[in-house]
Amino acid sequence: MDVVGAALSRRLRSFFRSRRKLQKLQDSFHNLGWYALTAWSRWKLKGFQGPVIAITGTKGKTTTTRLISRIYSDAGYRVGMACSGGVYVNGICVLSGSFSGVDGPLRAYRAGGRDLLVLETAHGSIQRYGFGFPDCNVAIFTNITDGHLGELGIETLEEMLALKWRLASRVRSGGTIILNADDPLLSSLRPPRCVEAVHLSLARSPAHGGADLGAPLYRYDYHGAVVKECGGCPSIVAEISDAPLLCKGFAPYNAYNLLAAIASVEAMRPFLPVSQESLLKSLMSFGSVPDDNPGHFNLFEGAWGRVLLLAGSNRDSYQRDAQALARIRVCPPFPVGRIIGVITGIGMQSTSYIRELAGIAASVCDEIIIREPLPRYRHVRAPGEISSILKSAALESGIPYHAIHVWSETSDLIRDLVLPNREANRFVAVFSAFAQEPIIDLCRRLGDLGSSSNRWS
């Protein structure tokens, strides 16, 4: 017995001296708590009598979530919203932080969302713990891109699609799945039985892939009209060419968010009707000020020039934002002098991927400022490694050595870049502020300095 006790004592001492084993034990307890929270949230929300709209995808989740919440709030409903920016009730933030996981739905409900819950659903939470709600009436799939490949063992777009498509199984019988018809992966999917599919497109002749050709299609025709096509019979639903989200045509990709919101309102009409007048009022006001959608194509201006906050996090969003900057340079809505791009990278991205981000920014910028990412975004990379990769790629892309500046993660965008300069026509484009400073705080500070009206003309 003494021998057994001594052996057990040695094993316990060895275990508690091992950091790796202790971390594994800590992670197990942490995950157990999240699993319990997921089960508790689902059980409590079974008593929620209102409808639920869930949004997933790579890009556009937060904007779509905020826009839909705004539409129903303006229509007089009590709306609970959970997204990567916090928990909101009728546009008022009750909890700040990221709540696009399993902890968001119950908090949005308890905060006062008695009529409707609008929930952003991130892939990380789906992979780890599932969903924090039992089911939903409408599921929106914005797109599938390579933005988060390499996380949680997901290496291909097909694997990412399979993960996000789990949301389709949560749609109630008679519910609606809204799909981006211009996304080749999403357009080929067939929804579960007893669920209606609705498609969105910006293309003149969208290809539905393997999807039901008889399904309703909402299309933006670039003359400013949203056209609904069903059974070969087109009808104009709304005219949105002057919607603030489109930024006078400099952000045409936001039309997908507008289409998704319109399609969800149509699908929800039997449960929570919204008048056409109220819908148009919301569409034509949302995005007019940065507070509507912090960090997503927000324009600030003052004696120090102009600052544009972008939500770039991957190659697709960098390319999209670079195209917008190219349009601004060719057809300037205001005097544009030097374009300064502020960029960073994330440790989980490959070296070639990080280099490509710098190349995209360099194609439209005269000067590059490289911000060292915050420590939590470095992952396994050493301090300074990501900045070195970006600097090398920017040089190879043609940016002169004297026009490339490397800043530490402790540098302050406003203190070190915005305020010291009085070059009125200077244009600063912050490609990926999320990995540099708290975006909502950055929006607030820039708004305090000068105009923040998102004026594009």
Position 436 in a domain = yes
Average pLDDT over residues 274-296: 93
Number of structural domains, the chain?
A: 2
Q: Are 268 and 307 in the same domain?
A: no
Per the domain annotation, does 456 fall within a domain? no
Same domain, 236 and 302: no
Domain CATH code at residue 84: 3.40.1190.10
CATH of the domain at 419: 3.90.190.20
Average pLDDT value for residue range 278-307: 90
pLDDT tens readout for residues 402-423: 999 999 888 888 888 888 877 8
Domain boundary among the residues 260, 287, 314 is at 287
User: Nearest-CA neighbor of 45 among 105, 118, 128?
Assistant: 105
Q: Are residues 65 and 175 in the same domain?
A: yes
Asked whether residue 133 falls in the same domain as residue 230, the answer is yes
pLDDT tens digits for 340-363? Answer: 999 988 888 889 999 999 999 999
pLDDT higher than 80, residue 435: no
Domain annotation covers residue 25: no
Closest CA to 54 of 176, 183, 211: 176
Question: Which domain, by its residues, includes 428?
Answer: 292-449
Verify that 57 and 124 share a domain, yes or no.
Answer: yes
Domain boundary pick from 258, 287, 316: 287
Kindly state whether residues 265 and 336 are assigned to the same domain. Answer: no
Last residue of a domain, one of 247, 269, 287: 287
Q: Is residue 255 part of a domain?
A: yes
In this prediction, residue 210 carries a pLDDT of 46
SS3 string, the chain, reads: CHHHHHHHHHHHHHHHHCHHHHHHHHHHHHHHHHHHHHHHHHHHHCCCCCCEEEEECCCCHHHHHHHHHHHHHHCCCCEEEEECCEEEECCEEEEECCCCCCCHHHHHHHCCCCCEEEEECCHHHHHHCCCCCCCEEEEEECCCCHHHCCCCCCCCHHHHHHHHHHHHHHEEEEEEEEEECCCHHHHCCCCCCCCEEEEEECCCCCCCCCCCCCCCEEEECCCCEEEEEECCEEEEEEECCCCHHHHHHCCHHHHHHHHHHHHHHHHCCCCCCCCHHHHHHHHCCCCCCHHHCCCCCEEEEECCEEEEECECCCHHHHHHHHHHHHHHHHCCCCCCCCEEEEECCCCCCCHHHHHHHHHHHHCCCCEEEEECCCHHHHCCCCCCHHHHHHHHHHHHCCCCHHHEEEECCCCCHHHHHHCCCCCCCCEEEECEHHHCCCHHHHHHHHHHHCECCCCCC
pTM of the model: 0.88
Do 86 and 105 lie in a common domain? yes
Strand 427-430's sheet: what is its strand order?
Answer: 298-302, 305-309, 427-430, 339-343, 367-371, 404-407
pLDDT at 355: 94
- Sort strands 233-239 and 225-230 into parallel, antiparallel or unpaired: antiparallel
**What percent of the chain lies above the pLDDT cut of 90?**
47
Q: How confident is the model at residue 25 (pLDDT cuts 50, 70, 90)?
A: low
Q: Does 76 map to a domain?
A: yes
Mean pLDDT value of segment 112-124:
92
For residues 310 and 225, membership in a common domain is answered with no
Are residue 169 and residue 298 in the same domain, yes or no? no
The yes-or-no verdict on residue 158 having pLDDT over 80 is: yes
Q: Each residue of 93-126: b (16+ CB within 10 Å) or e?
A: ebeeebbbbbbbbbbbbebbbebbbbbbbbbebb
Q: Check whether residue 242 and residue 353 sit in a common domain.
A: no
**366 in a structural domain:** yes
Are residues 362 and 301 located together in one domain of the fold?
yes
Q: Does residue 12 belong to any structural domain of this protein?
A: no
Considering the domain boundaries, does residue 350 fall inside one?
A: yes
- Answer yes or no: are the C-beta atoms of 84 and 62 closer than 8 Å: yes
Instruction: Please tell me whether residues 231 and 317 are part of one structural domain.
Output: no
